Structure 1
Amino acid sequence: MRNFVLIILGLVLTFNVVAQDKSTKSDVFVIVDDMPEYPGGQEALRNDIASLVKYPLQAKENGIQGKVYVTFVVNKEGDIEGAKIARGVDPSLDKEALRVMNELNKTWKPGKQDGSPVKVSYTVPIKFALDGDEKKESNMKSGEGADAVFFIVEDMPEFPGGDEALRKYIANALSYPEIAQEKKIQGKVYVSFVVEKDGSVGDAKIARGVDPSLDKEALRVVKNLPTWKPGKQRGEPVRVSYTVPINFALN
């Protein structure tokens, strides 16, 4: 039986960016002045998730792999509520990812808007990857040589100004397509891209779309992102894959 490697991907980009308002009708914010923080930071969140996950036996036997997106709300008290699958792979993997998120028993530092605690939506992508006889690092990238694309590296890429600056850039750059507004089309678009060795954004594509007009706008914004601080593995710049969920919501 094969072993497995669990890769927690892109936790620095697990926010949802809303195209118009900062909050929804249910008062769950998707972007706030002070985003929620997990105790110990993102590294601690990755480690805690990895320590709780148990690769489902059925999925291992059937060679099922993939990335599960779990969305939840960090409430005003810092607790997780309403966890659900935003994008699944297989019932067994989806169930396990959901179980893990519901069993995280640490209280977050709640998000704040205008100085007051508020509910904030969060999305975490978790990749389940089986490991054969190859080295662990080979499961953390695709391709070989100079063109290899890593999913997680020792020093992850950084947007200039950090996560908050990236959130604001995307929110300010988005323009809700008129045709989508007229037809009342809403939804979350997942855009994947590669932060190249020189920090530029390349190979942007729709990982999960909603509507051609929304997909096109999300892709336009991501393709025009400014230069990042590139990711590094063993001290050398490498190509790193990222996925950004962008939520288009009408009033």
Structure 2
Amino acid sequence: MIKNLAFFILLLLFSSFSLLAQRKQLSYHDSLGRTVQTREQSYYYRVITPDEQYPNLRKYKEYYTKGDRLKLVTRLTNGSMTSSKIGECLTYYANGQLQEKQHYNDKNQLIDSAYAYYPNGQLYTLSLHKFVSSDQRVAPRLLMEGNESSRQRIVEYILVKDSLGEVVVKNGTGDFPVFDLANLVLLEQGPLLNHKKNGEWNGKSGKRTFKEIWQNDKLISGVIKDSLGVATNYNEDTYAVPPEYPGGTSALRRVVANNYRYPRAAIDAGVSGTVQIEFIVEKDGSMSSFKVSKDLGYDTGEAAIEAIKKAKRKWSPGIQRGLPVRVSYALPIQLNLSS
């Protein structure tokens, strides 16, 4: 009897550990974030586990493979979707120094105070993220964020320092060097006045260089040149234009609705809810790189991809600084067996 009881307890413990292992997600990624198969191929790895403190959320951590140092820590509202961050988010350099400290609301939008640091630990920026209603003027540089709500995000830079600790912007006024901290690259630089771009800004976009004239956060003119010196002029209207499907998103949704084939397994299971498909709108307006970012299982995500692929008409491509660019797009699709 005692022997059988001991065996039963061991079986329960084994089952508990197996369940925990099943709920833990581990994946390996290269420096561009692409999934790779082994640790040896990876630049960092990702660990997603249940959150005992907040049962509706997931703990999300990334580690640099070399040295197993923490790269990012936050919480997610939606399984493994990295675009569903909520609460505090901390990112770190490979040397262990804190890179950024941010806060997200339940819509994965930056809110409140945010801090960014140089690799030497020196403060880079202290910024404040907040929202304004859509009837207030928002700088064109914010439009590419794809925020379709009636409120749009603005950023106020309270303090900006150079890597030696010298203050270069205070209360939104000064000469602002905009860095890509992940790659330690200077993207652009120019004057701010009361948190708004004002004057001549210069920068790089890939292998191109650009010069822009701003006045009170309004782009007056811009010119971008490639490595051969070929110039493209642009203005406020062609600075940042999101891609658009012919007839708009509603037309794309109609194509999906007309072509979606509910998987038999999903029908039998009575599955309803939202799946989300992410894809790239290419420079020529075609779609590529489809993936399921939110799934309901039972092949519902794969069926959604097949339905989107039935949309044969090309998009008007996204435009940035007068040139067509590749743009990532996410389309939520509502599935309802009762409709």
TM-score, normalising length: structure 2 = 0.35
Q: Which has the higher strand share?
A: 2
Structure with larger RCO (C-alpha < 8 A, sep 6+): 1
